[in-house]
Amino acid sequence: MQQLLVLTLFLLATACAPEPAKQYPVLQNRQHRLTRPIIQKVCVDMPSKEASRPDADKHYWNKALDKAMDSIGRAFINTTPLVSGITSSEPQQKPVANFTTSGHVATTRHPQIDGFRQRAAFQAIFVPEKNMAGEVVYLENGKSMASMKDTMVVRPFSPRPVSIPSCFLIAENVDAICPHCLKIIGWGKVTQNINEPSAPETLCLTEIEESIKEIKPGDTIFFLKISGTILPSQTTGQPMITD
């Protein structure tokens, strides 16, 4: 219901708005520091009830991704330098998977819990280019500023569909510090694609997971390229028995 209300308010607010100019920022990385991946290992417990779900694998990856991003998102906020932006032509439209996985989720019972325990390693890469960028276009309830756990609508600069789950960084303009520069101030997660039949572009309903400053319409977002890999179990368990 809340998502429907946010979407309705956004469509009403933009019904008479002029068509925005097609400006696509490409973020330069002269020191090549932004392409260095951030790696995070996590251990996630899955109770027997969750492990018996038909979508147990998908459920596991969502839990593991959320746990890993708590550290990854904060690391990007704390370590990412200013990014210099320029303008370029329209980006490509080829769909890209923002989150990929490899390995088989465990099907053995952990001896210490009523379920299984699975380890995984996540690698997140910040690619500062137009195909991975977008902008904040609407905040929950028409707010002028938003913060953690608020809902917002973002418009990817590339019209390609956005894969779910997708996580992204949020950046603000800091011209006062560096002309045409952006600074990472938070991160969020896509909860739903909004694809109106008559709309020429993709909109995404998202949630702000962490921020160090208030987020405003017009702020830039960058989708992260994230891969998850199952790690070997550290204990020998017994076959998982499901009802």
Q: Per-residue pLDDT tens, the chain, 243 aa: give them.
A: 555 555 555 544 554 444 443 444 445 554 434 556 899 999 999 888 888 889 989 999 999 999 999 999 999 988 766 777 655 555 555 556 789 999 988 766 777 778 888 999 999 988 777 778 899 999 988 777 887 889 999 999 887 778 889 999 999 988 887 777 888 999 999 999 887 656 667 899 999 999 999 999 999 999 999 999 999 876 544 433 333
pTM across the whole model: 0.80
Gap between the Cα atoms of 74 and 70, Å rounded = 6
8 Å CB contact between 80 and 126: yes
pLDDT of 31 reads 43
The H-assigned helical ranges of 45-93 are: 48-51, 56-79
Q: Rounded to 5 degrees, what are φ and ψ at 160?
A: -65, 150
pLDDT of 234 reads 65
pLDDT of 193 reads 87
Q: Which of 202, 225, 186 is nearest to 153 (CA)?
A: 202
Alpha carbon distances (Å) from 192 to 3, 97, 231, 238: 9, 15, 29, 38
Alpha carbon distances (Å) from 106 to 21, 57, 117: 49, 9, 8
Q: Which of 18, 1, 17, 51 is nearest to 151 (CA)?
A: 1
Residue 80 burial (10 A CB sphere; 0-12, 13-18, 19+): buried
pLDDT of 99 reads 93
Would you call 196 helix, strand, or coil by DSSP? coil
Q: Is the peptide bond before 161 cis (omega within 30 degrees of 0)?
A: no
What pLDDT, in 10s, does the model give residues 61-91? 999 999 999 999 999 988 766 777 655 555 5
